[in-house]
Amino acid sequence: MEPKVYIDGKLYPKSEAKISVFDHGLLYGDGVFEGIRVYSGRIFRLNEHLDRLYESARSIGLTIPLSRGGLEEAVIYTVKTNGLRDAYIRLVITRGVGDLGLDPHKCENGSVIVIVDKIQLYSEKLYKEGISVITASTRRVSPDMLNPLVKSLNYLNNILAYMEANQAGCPESLMLNAQGLVAECSGDNIFIVKKGELLTPGPDQGILLGVTRAVTIELAGKLGITVHESKLTRHDIYVADECFLTGTGAELVPVISLDDRTIGDGRPGPMTGKLFKEFRKLRENEGKKLFA
């Protein structure tokens, strides 16, 4: 069955799902989005994703043309219609149709798009064996230019960093901020383990506050693992005992090397494994069950 895409209150077959070429989301990347997972017929952390979506929209002065409850219903409706028990949701809010100028006030109404499809960034083999990462020469956009807490449609900065990883034969790249400190990866947050504690860059380093990042910190607390938001350099990652990435698409994936330098013993570490196991246990039981 061809997937159905929700656009402004109507469902369209994937092959017929279209937006105007005058939509400022297309013309200027003017909009916000969220990536959300469905596990075993349950939407994972939908409230947290909607919180971030509405905050992002408010930050850029974008009115979402649905109430919070209405948007939640639209997401659930689209998931149920597509009948996928394990899926990826891309929820997009654009500024809407305007003219060829920059003025957002020329866009009368924002558009709501809900896409439900499958996603698999990494194979199960990589979750067991770990991935290699390189440092991108592309720096993270500075917070005084564009606040990273806004998950906007303008993802060119991340795409350029991802391209560097791809050209190096790696699935992900590390991005530094303007000060040369560790920020995050092109699509994921980063954690290291050092002397039994968990360290990760904080929001002051120019990162997106990931939902999966927050879940990881929450799980660490329940396991009695100390977590510090720290200023990290590449040196800290090179000499870490363990390293892993978190993200909606990636979930929690171990990193075994950075810039061809082996991290730890070159294998996923015990703390990474413990958190990964707890995350997978949690994801199967959270959220309202949508299917009988």
Closest CA to 17 of 151, 86, 121, 111: 111
Pairing of strands 251-258, 261-262: antiparallel
Does the pLDDT of residue 174 top 90, yes or no? yes
Which domains does the chain show, CATH number per domain?
4-117 (3.30.470.10), 124-283 (3.20.10.10)
Q: How large is the angle between the packed helices 270-283 and 211-222, nearest 10 degrees?
A: 110
pTM: 0.96
CA 271 to chain centre: 22
Residues of the chain with pLDDT > 70, as a percent, come to: 100
Question: Which whole number is the average pLDDT over 151-175?
Answer: 97
Catalytic residues: 151
Q: Residue 292 pLDDT > 80, yes or no? A: no
- Average pLDDT, stretch 33-61? 97
Please report the pLDDT score of residue 186 as a whole number: 97
177-189: per-residue pLDDT in tens?
Answer: 999 999 999 999 9
From first CA to last CA, the distance across the chain in angstroms is: 20
- Mean pLDDT, the chain, rounded, equals 96
Q: Residue 8: which pLDDT band, with cuts at 50, 70 and 90?
A: very high
Instruction: Determine the average pLDDT of the residues in 47-51.
Output: 98
